[in-house]
Amino acid sequence: MTEAILRGYEHSSGPVFTIAVPYARLTDTTPTEGNPCELTSLLPGTALCGSIMSIDAGDSIAIVNVAPAFIGNWEVRNVLTYSGAVENTWGAINIGDLVYYDNSATMPAGVYLSTSPLDNLGVANTLFGSIEVITSEAAALYPLGGITASTQDCQVQQKGAGI
């Protein structure tokens, strides 16, 4: 299996707990190491989310960290609501804000997380975690973005399994 150092890895305040997931069980079936991910689920908004630690392209398996409280740097879209399948309102991203795995077709390429609880079709997004910071220097930068569309580099604490 191929191992790699993650692009956005910061730290984990809890144990690392990994599971092997076939690509076909991920909502994004072309996973990339270091990205957030969502496993498929029968009910919208109820899926397990985690962080892709490594991939095995030969066997189409992703190793996913589903430990609660893992913190990573990921891009987060500041969309709050959609109307007519397009982004409608936006807001500043602040410490403690909830972050969702957003499958909307309107999301920029390579961005999987947003602050919207619903996708562009009105379907529930899965709660991924919340905005957290690990240094006072990072805390001083918040809030990020504003009332216009933007994508911000944020530290996100994943909900993972067991919470």
Place of tokens 């399994």: 161
For the chain (163 residues), the mean pLDDT of every run of 10, in chain order, is 44 74 96 95 92 94 94 95 95 98 94 97 96 90 96 94 68
The pLDDT score that the predictor gives to residue 16 is 85
The pLDDT score that the predictor gives to residue 55 is 95
The pLDDT score that the predictor gives to residue 6 is 47
Give the residue ranges of DSSP H helices in 1-52.
none
pTM to 2 decimal places: 0.89
Between CA 120 and CA 131 the distance in angstroms is 22
| Measured CA distances, 104 to 27, 47, 50, 116, 139 (Å) | 12, 16, 18, 10, 29
| Measured CA distances, 2 to 10, 29, 51, 94 (Å) | 20, 18, 16, 36
Backbone angles phi and psi of 149, in degrees to 5: -60, 130
Between CA 43 and CA 41 the distance in angstroms is 5
The pLDDT score that the predictor gives to residue 13 is 53
